[in-house]
Amino acid sequence: MNNTVLVGRLCKDPELRYIPGSGTPVATFTLAIDRDYKNKDGSTTTDFIPVEVMGKPAEFCANYITKGRLVGIQGSIRVDRYETPNGEKRNFTKVAGRNIQALDYANDDKGGNPKFEPSGSVGSSEFNSIDDDDVPF
């Protein structure tokens, strides 16, 4: 079984590319994740985990996820093996993400305040006033 779940912050905006031939979108980025313990001096160690997401989740990342955002990733560990031009064999470990979810709000462009983007607009005529005496609890 190869399943991993990570929660961390993006180190920089995702890079989006498309696979030649198929046109499948691929987003790559790095997550910064603090370890759950402190060192003797009281500091925490941060791990930087490379992540690759393909398909519709990659387009979501490119359009809505930016540097500093807190995200949850579900996927699997992948080890790519390659050979350098000098003939050295190398391994590169990454997370192949299947699902991604933003866990915080995006900041607005002006003051850094969180902005909430509802899925639909709510007009004032949709609210009905309720007398507190009519509420059963």
Per-domain residue ranges of the chain: 4-35+43-108
Closest CA to 29 of 10, 48, 43, 6: 10
Distance from first CA to last CA of the chain, Å, rounded? 48
Q: Is residue 33 within 8 Å of 70, Cβ to Cβ?
A: no
Residue 38, pLDDT score: 84
Residue type, 70: L
Q: Is residue 52 within 8 Å of 96, Cβ to Cβ?
A: yes
Residue 27, pLDDT score: 94
Residue 120, pLDDT score: 25
Residue 30, pLDDT score: 95
Q: Is residue 26 within 8 Å of 19, Cβ to Cβ?
A: yes
Query: What is the block-wise mean pLDDT of the chain (137 residues), using blocks of 10 residues?
Result: 94 93 92 89 90 92 90 93 91 92 71 43 34 49
Residue 124, pLDDT score: 31
Closest CA to 100 of 55, 61, 50: 61
CATH class of 4-35+43-108: mainly beta
Residue 107, pLDDT score: 63
